[in-house]
Amino acid sequence: MKSQQHTDKLKKVIKYSVIPREKVTQKQKQIGDIIVEETGAYSMPHFVHGKFPQILKDAGFKNVIVENITPRIMPMLKIFYLIAYIPYIFIKFLGLQRKFVNATSAAVGYKNIKNSDYGRYNIISAIKK
């Protein structure tokens, strides 16, 4: 008699999420559009808070757990912000945000996340049978 193998598999992903587009300011929409278009992250606006865990549940995953790790990521984002801030002043003045999307993301993204629930970094774990 063969022993039954354990077939549950734990999956973990790190995934960002954002607030719904209708809840962001016009300025946040403009910068968000630049970031999405210039980085090719076209799925970003669709991963609103709580949506990815629901997609996993709909796909048959069980025990879906979301851990918001944004507070642990903020020190790194602050360093990126401090590095990018002075160059970003010139980038913005010259209208070159699309050409320097990483500096734009660092300078603007940090403030958006710090001052609102604009974005989150999440560890999502789930079990697939």
pLDDT tens digit sequence for 34-61? 999 999 989 888 889 999 999 999 999 9
Using pLDDT thresholds of 50, 70 and 90, give the confidence band for residue 79: very high
Using pLDDT thresholds of 50, 70 and 90, give the confidence band for residue 11: confident
Name the residue among 35, 21, 26 with its Cα closest to residue 118.
21
Name the residue among 8, 9, 24 with its Cα closest to residue 115.
24
CATH 3.40.50.1820 given to domain 9-128? no
Distance CA 67, CA 87 (A): 33
What is the value of pTM for the model shown? 0.80
DSSP-derived secondary structure letter, 63: E
Q: What's the chain's Rg over C-alpha atoms?
A: 18
Whether 114 contacts 82, CB under 8 Å: no
- To the nearest whole number, what is the mean pLDDT of the chain? 89
Using pLDDT thresholds of 50, 70 and 90, give the confidence band for residue 93: very high
